[in-house]
Homo-oligomer: A and B are copies of this chain.
């Protein structure tokens, strides 16, 4: 019950849904992609493997995968939503370079713990959180300084 396929099937069962050929192929496609991906990358990959999929099917399957805990959406830029594979339970946050678009993942236990305390204090039951720090990565910060 550890592999993505079983997790996905279990989730579908729970909701009385079928594991269709398309859903299976979308799931497989995701794990052939790099960790972060967007709609178009997923769509193109599935299409390349199957020959034909409807965009609608991809859009309909994404929330199922999110609810299964297999992927999550990380940020929404001007051009669509970015998703990432969730492997295991290692939650993490992101440093996002506004200049070159690269990102760095990080995890800080102090931040996680402090968040839990904040929730507790407000009687808030957290289901998800997202911390994104926007700025300039090391390389771009240097270029910027040279320019200025």
| A14 within 8 A of partner (CB) | no
Looking at the assembled complex, report how far the CB atom of A107 sits from the nearest CB atom of chain B, in whole angstroms. Answer: 9
Q: Which of B114, B129, B138 contacts A114 (CB 8 A)?
A: B114
Which residues from chain B contact A135 at a C-beta distance below 8 Å?
Answer: 119, 124-128
Tally of this chain's copies = 2
A21 to chain B, nearest CB (A): 29
Q: How far is the CA of A131 from the CA of B108 in the complex (A)?
A: 14
Q: Specify the chain B residue showing the minimal Cβ separation from A97.
A: B124
Chain A: residues with Cβ within 8 Å of the partner, total of 33
A interface residues, Cβ below 8 angstroms from B: 76, 95, 97-98, 104, 106, 108, 110-111, 114-115, 117-119, 122-138, 141, 144
Assess whether B134 is in contact with A126, with CB atoms less than 8 Å apart: yes
Contact A136 B125 (CB under 8 A): yes
Do the beta carbons of B127 and A129 come within 8 Å of each other? no
Q: Can you show 23 pairs from A to B with CB atoms below 8 A apart?
A: A95-B118, A95-B119, A95-B124, A104-B122, A106-B118, A108-B115, A110-B110, A111-B114, A111-B115, A118-B133, A119-B133, A119-B135, A123-B137, A123-B141, A124-B136, A124-B138, A126-B134, A127-B134, A127-B135, A127-B136, A130-B131, A130-B132, A130-B134
